[in-house]
Amino acid sequence: MTDAVRVLIAPDKFKGSLTAVDVARHVAAGLRRSADAAGKPLDIAALPVADGGDGTVDAAVAAGFERRELRVTGPTGAPVTAAYALRGGTAVVEMAEASGLRRLPGGVPAPLTATTYGTGELVRAALDAGARTLVLGIGGSATTDGGAGMLGALGARLLDASGAPVRPGGAALAGLATADLSGLDPRLRSVDLVLASDVDNPLTGPAGAAAVYGPQKGAGADDVALLDSALAHYAAVLDGGALAGAAGAGAAGGLGYGALAGLGAVFRPGIEVMLDVLGFAGALAGADLVITGEGSLDAQTLRGKAPAGVAAAARERGVPVVAVCGRLALSAEELSAAGIERAYALTSLEPDLSRCVALAGPLLERVAERIAERIAEDRLR
């Protein structure tokens, strides 16, 4: 490394503890404190990232997008204040803002009745604002309704045998008789709609939305069976089941399927989409080191989570990457294969997990000081 070491901090959130913006701020503080004390200031830039789930709008805003807030329908029907991000003709919509687990009143799950209607209202607001490219980030959902609520908010008519609209939620889709998409907002036809997700599950079956993610949303075994059957019926009515097995169809309780089959969305891995949207390539130019990370570096990280995406993009440019995390469950070999040279875990400083979560910010600063010390050592070689 040269004397003018430029460090790019590009972390995801530490779920349940710190946002990606917070993580970047604490890492930068630790780096600066150590480097300044050694008389070797660093050139530090921050670009918090996300993979389509919780924190996607915040990452876009940190990268220069405008935050737009509005009242929409929450997962149980109660109104919530949600946001999307806009810059030029590009909008970033995060379904968790309207239909996420954090929007459940009192945290009480509603696995059979939770709706994505509010996500559709966010999409409509982005269209009203003039969006021509719309990134729909999906993850952290409270819903398993196959995106039916979203389609309804955008003009689709999903009717039961009596001609009445089906009730909200995934369970009611068992009674779907007709899916009329002719009333969908016509502006959708001229918008590039990108489905950004870090999971590629199909809609139904043992790897589907209900079976894999339903229990996380409060669904018991009987609920899972009911939801899986209802989603299969819904897909049969909507498009003959043609896209039920598509990559990403099962994401966010099947909202991925609703976007693919109903809105003509194109699926892309969430971190790839967000790195493009956030301008990661430009931020990476001239960097000597990238620091990425998330709460837990584990097997899921290697399946398209943000740190793996950041490391892959940096490796293409020949830029070394280190990671920070709360907990490390990957071997040195696995990290190296993912393009990460070293990982610094908060648990190495504080083994007690509850304290580690509570003190994540100060611990991150201490870890960052270690990284700055390593950078200084490398300079002397």
| 107 pLDDT higher than 60 | yes
pLDDT band at 334 (very low <50, low <70, confident <90, very high): very high
Confidence of residue 1 (pLDDT cuts 50, 70, 90): very low
Q: For residue range 25-38, list pLDDT tens digits in order.
A: 999 999 999 999 98
pLDDT in tens, 121-177: 999 999 999 999 999 999 899 999 999 999 999 999 999 999 999 999 999 999 999
Confidence of residue 4 (pLDDT cuts 50, 70, 90): confident
The secondary structure of the chain in percent helix, strand, coil, rounded to multiples of 5, reads: 45, 20, 35
pLDDT the model gives residue 3: 66
User: Dihedrals φ, ψ of 293, to 5°?
Assistant: 155, 175
Give mean pLDDT, residues 12-30.
Answer: 96
Query: What pLDDT digit, counting tens, does each position of 346-379 carry?
Result: 999 999 999 999 999 999 999 999 999 999 887 6
- Which of 105-109, 111-115, 299-303, 306-310 shows the lowest mean pLDDT across its residues? 299-303
What lies within 8 Å, CB to CB, of 156 at 6+ separation is 179, 180, 181, 183, 184, 262
The answer to whether residues 321 and 297 touch, using CB atoms and an 8 Å cutoff, is no
DSSP assignments along 51-65, one per residue: -SSTTHHHHHHHTTP
Output the CA angle 268-270-275, nearest 5 degrees. 105
Give residue 233's region: left, alpha or beta (phi > 0; psi -120 to 50).
alpha
